[in-house]
């Protein structure tokens, strides 16, 4: 069965509709001001409503305060909250207890040691999203990690891969890692923050043929 696909960093109704039309299972909305994909909470709530019942919606936060996290969750009511900073397992566990959303933790996969360190999130997160290590931004950088690090790894909880995926390399990424979920942002853009519908369609077609 082909993996689940999350198209991340959507910011317009048109791109949300295109992701749904072309077969995405998840979309991501980034609420993080330094990102070129940042959407304010009112926009995120409107996009979330548009996608409701059609795809799962993940809201992304990066080291947000307790107050902002509460406000974001109450306003957007996402299916998933994706923490993309250095949030602690304790914080994730607390959020998970308080809200009905799934909790995902993104982790920059630097080396084999990361796979041991990630164990601290088991029991606190519903899914681990392995991404490239942070650069100027913690995500959405268009860079990939060494997929061979995941070869043969026994995952204790649900997981997925992100980072530098494109319509051209997604087949190889899935073959090498066996990922049950793939996540893309820059690889389906014409410029930072501008999604390209043809690239989105090509990415989803490439995944469907795996
Ligand atoms: O997309 C962003 O701008 C972003 C900024 C800060 C934290 C996370 C961000 N994106 C998170 C994602 O889930 C991306 O899809 C993931 O990092 C992969 O990005 P890319 O390498 O551009 O495909």
In this prediction, residue 1 has a pLDDT band, given cuts at 50, 70 and 90, of: confident
49-81 per-position pLDDT tens digit: 999 999 999 999 999 999 999 999 999 999 999
- From the CA of 164, give the closest atom in ligand 1: 21
**77 half-sphere exposure, CB direction, 13 A CA radius:** 8
Residue 166 pLDDT > 90, yes or no? Answer: yes
Distance of CA 166 from the midpoint of ligand 1 (Å)? 13
Domain ranges of the chain: 4-208
Looking at ligand 1, which atom is closest to the CA of residue 38? 3
87 lines ligand 1 (CB under 6 A): no
* 191 neighbors 13 (Cβ within 8 angstroms): no
Give residue 35 CA to ligand 1 midpoint distance, Å: 9
Ligand 1 centroid to residue 140 C-alpha, Å: 3
pLDDT tens per residue across span 89-135: 999 999 999 999 999 999 999 999 999 999 999 999 999 999 999 99
Query: What's the pLDDT score for residue 87?
Result: 97
Report d(CA 184, CA 166) in Å as an integer.
7
Interface pTM, i.e. ipTM: 0.97
Domain range 4-208, its CATH number among 2.60.120.20, 1.10.150.530, 3.40.50.150, 3.20.20.70: 3.20.20.70
The residues with which 127 forms a beta bridge, in sequence order, are 104, 158
- pLDDT reported for residue 92: 98
* Sequence-distant (≥ 6) Cβ neighbours of residue 203 within 8 angstroms: 5, 7, 165, 166, 167, 170, 184, 187, 188
What pLDDT sits at residue 76? 98
Question: Are 36 and 192 contacting, i.e. CB atoms less than 8 angstroms apart?
Answer: yes
CB 76 within 8 A of CB 45: yes
């Amino acid at each position: 069965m082909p993996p689940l696909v999350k198209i991340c960093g959507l910011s317009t109704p048109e791109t949300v509709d295109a992701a749904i039309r072309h077969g995405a299972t998840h979309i991501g909305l980034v609420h993080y001001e330094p990102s070129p994909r940042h959407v304010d909470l009112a926009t995120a709530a409107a996009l979330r409503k548009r996608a409701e019942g059609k795809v799962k919606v993940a809201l992304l936060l990066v080291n947000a305060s307790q107050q902002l996290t509460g406000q974001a969750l109450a306003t957007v009511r996402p299916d998933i909250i994706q923490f993309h900073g250095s949030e602690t397992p304790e914080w994730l566990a607390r959020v998970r207890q308080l809200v009905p959303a799934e909790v995902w933790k993104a982790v920059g996969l630097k080396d084999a040691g990361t796979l041991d360190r990630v164990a601290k999130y088991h029991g606190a997160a519903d899914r681990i999203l392995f991404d490239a290590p942070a650069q100027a931004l913690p995500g959405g950088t268009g860079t990939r990690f060494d997929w061979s690090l995941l070869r043969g790894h026994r995952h204790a909880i649900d997981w997925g891969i992100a980072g530098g995926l494109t319509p051209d390399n997604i087949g190889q990424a899935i073959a090498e890692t066996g990922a049950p979920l793939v996540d893309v942002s820059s690889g389906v853009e014409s410029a930072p923050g501008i999604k390209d519908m043809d690239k989105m369609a090509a990415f989803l077609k490439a995944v469907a043929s795996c």
